[in-house]
């Protein structure tokens, strides 16, 4: 993908602060640094999002996540880590090359929010059972 910024980093057309590279995966510091050490893990083979990833390519990406997570914990002495992946505009994806964010967490004031809406009161057990059946039909 000639216009993809992450492909340009992979191809060394533009610089990236690469922390890990192998035949299939590249990991580099996110220039936004949501928190200190914020790292992106990407497949070298272009895929737009999770919907276009193969199981094999996904396994390559996630095979390195624990190693990088531990390196970030050791390096930055963080107290936790968010593993975040946004797919599609509605989910907040802004670069359309599949990527996983590894965001070190230090405390509740580190500037990153991971709050999720709690809509439990809107779903009965029967509604959840019906949703489950819909998903199973699509597998």
Q: Are the C-beta atoms of 60 and 24 separated by less than 8 Å?
A: yes
Give Cβ neighbours of residue 23 (< 8 Å, ≥ 6 apart). Answer: 44
* Closest to 48 (Cα-Cα) out of 13, 101, 89: 89
Alpha carbon distance 81, 69 (integer Å): 7
Residue positions annotated with a catalytic role: 99
Residue 25 and residue 99 in contact, taking contact as beta carbons nearer than 8 Å: no
Question: Would you call 17 helix, strand, or coil by DSSP?
Answer: coil
Helix (H) or strand (E) holding 99: none
Q: Rounded CA gap, 53 and 27, in Å? A: 17
């Amino acid at each position: 993908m000639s216009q993809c910024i992450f492909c340009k980093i992979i191809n060394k057309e533009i610089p990236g602060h690469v922390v890990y590279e192998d035949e299939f995966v590249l990991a580099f510091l996110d220039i936004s640094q949501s928190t200190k050490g914020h790292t992106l893990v990407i497949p070298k083979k272009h895929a737009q999002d999770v919907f276009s990833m193969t199981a094999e390519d996904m396994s390559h990406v996630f095979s390195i996540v624990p190693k990088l997570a531990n390196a970030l914990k050791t390096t930055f002495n963080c107290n936790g880590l968010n593993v975040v992946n946004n797919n599609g505009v509605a989910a907040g994806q802004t670069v359309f090359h599949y990527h996983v964010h590894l965001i070190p967490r230090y405390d509740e004031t580190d500037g990153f929010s991971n709050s999720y809406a709690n809509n439990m009161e809107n779903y009965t057990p029967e509604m959840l059972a019906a949703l489950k059946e819909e998903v199973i039909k699509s597998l």
